[in-house]
Structure 1
């Protein structure tokens, strides 16, 4: 569990006295206006393929009511609506700035009756037990202040037999992908963040948070210890990204 403790100590602004949760919300509020562009640009568009693969794990389950946690600007929720066609998707996030960008995007696409975005904390999800048919999280769990608490809340609001799908960055181990990845994340990403989003701190935090986050078998064990069943991990693109699936 030591890896998870280290991950919880990684924060965007080391000198700040705010909690990790408060810092994350502030950071995303600041970069919301450029977040979508930078996301796709820095991943060379591969993040779209990763999201499609993650949603593929839910296709046979045909969920009617979905919860998208750390929904940000709603990209994953919008894609889930198109590919899975549930009756309703609720997205929650702690950044009102990101949510506002997402609401505008959803309204523009005429999806306000299908997707609702609201301020919400993954560690205190404001829905009754056994509410949702599926939960998705894309690139958000590493930002949790308390990972186990967030996972336990997800399990609580999932219906029995329902599925959790987590998409998250991971550290590649294959030469030379590992070396190129570390170079790109450590030096190029913060510079792009400084130039485009005017926030070097936010994009310096990204590689540090990925490096510290529990991955692979360690993350699978945390999910199992939280009470999930049938836990799996699928690595994508030489291990740059991982999909974790688990059943309530």
Structure 2
């Protein structure tokens, strides 16, 4: 079960607009804060998650909630020059700040899109990913269903997301870190409320088991769950197609 959030969160009806405005506001310092708050471990988490996409040279991939495009750029290394990666986000400011980064990767393009209504045909991508963004989608099930829809049979959906550690000692330390996050984030970005929302959204998000269940409901199977960073970061991988 999800836990009550420690900070006020937007309602289901207002979450979409709230999150869009929040990420527009923090876009200029987003990459710096990711590096600081993750102790520069975020790039290694993305590498592990990219490995689980099973992408190969020449494949087409989609990274939803791409932000400034970090995960899209990581996927580009896997599909190679003959492949294609599209990164989508509904924050135009995040995409704008990501353009200089992805310009170094000719096989990556960024475009505006809502993960709850992806503008792509069924079965268009070999892999569809989301890194630290699925909990910000207003309707998680709808977003997952869209991600599964545009994945080709035999392809996979990979979710990299924060979650609550199961080890009580780690959970205690993580709780202290969550209390520091708004202070650090506020000092660097000037947007303390945004960095109060982020840890609160982790507390309120689905458990590992619940998220796996939502992926199955979306039509994915063989769900694989991998804990990173003492269980504070979790990868969910699900396959598209019929079970064998």
Calculate the TM-score normalised by the size of structure 2.
0.91
SS in 1 for 2:123: coil
Deviations 1:73-113 (A, max 9, x none): 00111111124426111110010000001112222x2x2x3
Distance 1:105 1:152 in 2: 29
Q: Does 1:243 align with 2:235?
A: yes
Q: How does 1:162-201 map to 2 (within 5 A)?
A: 162-186=155-179, 188-201=180-193
- Paired residue for 1:161? 154
Aligned-pair Cα RMSD in Å: 2.1
Judged with a 3 Å threshold, the aligned counterparts in structure 2 of structure 1 residues 118 and 195 are, in CA distance, closer, same or farther, namely same
Give the distance between the partners of 2:55 and 2:95, measured in 1 at CA: 29
CA distance in 2, matches of 1:19, 1:242: 27
Question: Where do residues 92-107 of structure 1 align in structure 2 (5 Å cutoff)?
Answer: 92-107=88-103
1:75 maps to what in 2? 70
Q: Is contact 2:127–2:157 with CA below 8 Å preserved after alignment?
A: yes
Structure 1 residue corresponding to 2:201, chosen from 191, 209, 219:
209
Kept in 2, the 8 Å contact 1:129–1:156? The answer is yes
Q: Distance in 2 between matches of 1:99 and 1:215?
A: 29
Instruction: Identify the match of residue 143 of structure 2 among 135, 138, 150.
Output: 150
Cα distance in 2 for residues equivalent to 1:26 and 1:52: 29
CA deviation profile, 1:129-181 (whole Å, cap 9, x unmatched): 11111111000000010011111111111111111110000111214221111
Contact 1:59 1:84 in 2 (8 A): no
Which residue does the alignment assign to 1:118? 111
Give, in angstroms, the shift of residue 60 of structure 1.
5.8
1:40 maps to 2:35: yes
Is structure 2 residue 126 aligned with structure 1 residue 133?
yes
The 2-side partners of 1:126 and 1:79 are apart by 22
Determine the C-alpha separation between the residues in 2 that align with 1:172 and 1:150.
24
* Separation of aligned partners in 2, 1:225 and 1:124: 17
Q: How many equivalent pairs are there?
A: 238
Q: TM-score, normalised by structure 1?
A: 0.90
**Residues 63 and 241 of structure 1: CA distance in aligned 2, closer, same or farther (over 3 Å):** farther
SS in 2 for 1:134: strand
Gaps of 5+ in 2: none
Give me the whole-angstrom Cα distance separating, in 1, the residues matched to 2:43 and 2:79. Answer: 15
Is the Cα contact below 8 Å between 1:70 and 1:122 reproduced in 2?
Answer: yes
